[in-house]
Amino acid sequence: MQAPTLRDVYSAKKTIAPYLSRTPLQHSPGLSSKLGAEVYLKHDEHLPLGAFKARGGINLLAHLSQEERDRGVITASTGNHGQSISQACRIFGARAFIVLPQGANPLKVAALRSLGAEVIFHGDNFDEARAHCERLALEEAYRYVHPANEPLLIAGVATQTLEVIEDLPGVEVIFMPLGGGSSAAGACLVAKAIDPDIQMVAVQSEEAQGGYLTWQQGSAVEAPMTTFAEGLATKVGYQLPQTILRRYLDDFVLVSDDEIRYAIGALIEEAHTLAEGAGAAALAGALRRPDLVRGKKVSITVSGANTTLPQLLEAVKVYQNGS
């Protein structure tokens, strides 16, 4: 399994362009003042699915053979990745099967069904859903799409960082959330190929440390997973993203779930921006580690906005108590 290259990312940019518009990178005076830095937000929550994952699904489905599309495509997801694959399957005429854990975000489930996917529920968490998905792929001969160990997915989502560097010359630090790791790995590939001095910082919840521990220890580590932020909710780091992250990632910040909730509130009040838990994690990391951004030109990724009303109300409560 080969990691994608910068050339692959530029190719993905051309593949995606007819289907997805470039997302804005906007200066935030409020967050700049709060962090003592020149802060810009990369608004991938503006994509039609409300999340960055749409980039990867289109790039992958565009490169599948007709035979693979005809067999049907199956993947496991907590929501946003599944929406990406479902949307791409609809565009390219393939059947989509999405395996979700019980209790998945109901807004994301509804969106999956509206995109024409067949939704299958299994297990209490993402990793149990993924194991069931892999069994179904073998039994039914579907084309299985791993949520992170797919070079075409990584190249697709890496176009986000290509846009950041093109739109913000001289960017010094990029903060991004980490769940399965495809986005953070793609970001590192692009940034370090273009300017090795850009500091790349990943952020994950303390209540789902599998990715962090795998990166830290250099081998797969499974950790308890209790975070509310479903986009970060993986128990273990995955091989291909972790191989890239161990080579290129400069720093890794763990934050509490309440720090993520606080960041959701800060995005609303300081930047008029709605984010889900994973979408606010990068800002939570910058708020936890202001020493990494102070006095610098910084891009903070808002990866998605598919939150539920109860999650949003709880975040506002935490923010009000912490302000």
The set of catalytic residues is 53, 303
Give the Cα separation of 264 and 122 in Å (integer): 29
φ, ψ (nearest 5 deg) of residue 255: -130, 155
Query: d(Cα 257, Cα 246) in Å, to the nearest integer?
Result: 25
147 vs 238: CA distance, rounded Å? 9
21 in the Ramachandran plot: left (φ > 0), alpha (ψ -120 to 50) or beta?
A: beta
**Side chain identity at residue 67, one-letter code:** E
Encoded tokens for 316: 């506002």
Q: For residues 216 and 299, give the distance between their C-alpha atoms in angstroms, rounded to a whole number.
A: 24
Helices (H), ranges, the chain: 6-16, 29-35, 54-63, 66-71, 80-92, 106-114, 126-140, 151-157, 159-167, 182-194, 210-217, 239-248, 257-271, 277-288, 309-322
The number of helices, as runs of H, and strands, as runs of E, in the chain is 15, 10
Q: Which two tokens stand for residue 317?
A: 């409560």
Q: In the chain, what's the furthest Cα-to-Cα distance?
A: 55
Single-letter code of the amino acid located at 264:
I
Listed residue (257, 283, 304) closest to 78, CA to CA: 304
φ, ψ of residue 197 to 5 degrees: the values are -80, -15
